[in-house]
Amino acid sequence: MFLAVRYQGRLATLAERLPYFIHSLPGLVIGLTLVFFAIRYAYPLYQTVPLLLIGYAMLYLPLAQSSIRSVLVQVPSQLEEVAGSLGKRSLSVFARVTLPLIAPGVGAGLALVFLQVMKELTATLLLRPTGVDTLATRVWVHTASGEYAASAPYAALLILVSGLPVYLLTMRSFTRSKQKRGET
């Protein structure tokens, strides 16, 4: 994505747009595709946490990507060029100049991905290791068998855990707006 913003080209554009195409597919399709791939070509990955994380990355990379891209476009490339002209290496320029400027977008992207992963069900049911449950799968198991009271604690915990990043982001935004207005 960084390359697609700073250096336009066909390969960079393709690398940036491909995750959006994958994101348009239902979680069930991604889950079935990864199960087929793991069983056929990478059996040791089948029903492992790394395969589940790969599925989550495929499904939700565009959420983080769009948040980071919108902030990255606003960072002038001249800042990086000036840091490079002062003898800093590319990695140092990124760590000391670019990353602090795009940190709010990275945080927003992480929060969006976290919220989506918390409620993801279809791909999780297909890809999770045996015996591993998430809050969403526990809610599903209990509600599928009509045990609504048993699913309530999991649903409440899901709401609480999912609400934490939203609260942190909104409080940060609220504090910044108060600071700009000169309030304390």
- Tokens representing 34 are 């990864």
In this predicted model, what pLDDT tens digit does every residue of 83-103 receive, in sequence order? 888 888 888 888 888 888 888
Nearest to 117 by CA among 22, 34, 52: 52
Residue 165 pLDDT: 80
* Number of structural domains the chain divides into: 2
Query: Does residue 45 form part of some domain?
Result: yes
For residues 99 and 146, membership in a common domain is answered with: no
pTM of full prediction above 0.75: yes
Domain boundary among 61, 84, 117: 117
In this predicted model, what pLDDT tens digit does every residue of 16-43 receive, in sequence order? 888 888 888 888 999 999 999 999 999 9
Average pLDDT of the chain, as a whole number: 86
Domain boundary among 67, 86, 117: 117
Backbone angle region of 134, left / alpha / beta, with phi > 0 → left and psi within -120 to 50 → alpha: beta
Query: Does residue 73 form part of some domain?
Result: yes
The alpha carbon of 164 is separated from its chain's Cα centroid by a whole number of angstroms, namely: 16
